[in-house]
């Protein structure tokens, strides 16, 4: 037997999967069921999982798959009943539509290539480490992460210890924040500006001066796509 709230939750998850291919967030489930906290959602999901109605997909944050529906949530055509039917139910094995591949709340491991200066250029260290990143922060293309060192980009909201998520690219428009490699050995995170035959790397901190180089000395290694921050 399922409780009314369990029944309501599994119908809500199934409806969202059919509409978008993406399972709802815990906040969305809390609001849909008019619960006071997300802990109530956790308890309902755990109960449904223990009874074999749903399962959590591995390596995906909050991604759920409906394995079977309660029998009175299904009509003769195999479709879910309207959401205003909230009585307690017994179970019938009914295969639900599978979750669409690669939902937006997937987690992706991206290479972590050491530290990069947000001050004077320092070497960007290549490494073999990786870090998990929500796919929704990345968008298309190939990405990597760098730990920010320094405070020259604080006025752009980039702080020492942040992780810059960078989309690989060898070109950028004026005014974009880029990873710039200087003289093939030092890398820095700055605004890119073209000034005649020169490249100007502008900080976002009034305490720092722009860095100006001949254009052949600077190579764009990628463009800032997002940031991750730890709170200690």
Sign of CA dihedral 34, 37, 43, 45: positive
Cα–Cα dist 55/106, whole Å: 15
HEC secondary structure over 148-193: EECCCCHHHCCCCCCEEEEECCCCCCCCCEEEEEECCCEEEEEEEE
Which one-letter DSSP state was computed for residue 119? S
Distance CA 188, CA 115 (A): 10
Give first-to-last CA distance, the chain, whole Å.
Answer: 44
Q: Which of 5, 68, 149, 152 is catalytic?
A: 152
Annotated catalytic residue, options 5, 30, 68, 190:
190
What is each CA distance from 171 to 43, 156, 177, 181, 191, in whole angstroms?
Answer: 49, 21, 11, 12, 13
The answer to whether residues 225 and 159 touch, using CB atoms and an 8 Å cutoff, is no
Q: Could you confirm whether 152 is annotated as catalytic?
A: yes
Hey, which residues are catalytic here?
152, 190
């Amino acid at each position: 037997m399922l409780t009314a709230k369990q029944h309501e939750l599994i119908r809500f998850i199934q409806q969202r999967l059919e509409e978008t291919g993406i399972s709802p967030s815990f906040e969305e489930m809390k609001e849909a069921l008019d619960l006071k906290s997300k802990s109530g959602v956790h308890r309902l999901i755990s109960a449904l999982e223990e009874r074999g109605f749903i399962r959590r997909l591995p390596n995906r944050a909050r991604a759920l798959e409906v394995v079977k529906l309660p029998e009175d949530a299904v009509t003769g055509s195999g479709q879910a009943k309207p959401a205003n039917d909230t009585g307690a139910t017994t179970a019938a094995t009914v295969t639900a539509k599978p979750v669409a591949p690669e939902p937006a709340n997937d987690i992706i491991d991206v290479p972590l290539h050491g530290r990069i200066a947000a001050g004077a250029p320092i070497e960007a260290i290549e490494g073999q480490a990786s870090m998990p990143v929500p796919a929704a922060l990345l968008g298309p293309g190939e990405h990597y992460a760098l730990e920010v060192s320094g405070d020259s980009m604080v006025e752009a909201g980039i702080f020492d210890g942040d992780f810059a998520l960078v989309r690989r690219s060898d070109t950028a428009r004026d005014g974009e924040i880029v990873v710039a490699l200087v003289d093939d050995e030092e890398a820095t995170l700055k605004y890119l500006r073209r000034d005649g035959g020169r490249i100007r790397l502008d900080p976002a901190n009034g305490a720092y001066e722009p860095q100006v180089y001949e254009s052949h000395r600077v190579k764009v290694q990628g463009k800032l796509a997002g940031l991750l921050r730890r709170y200690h």
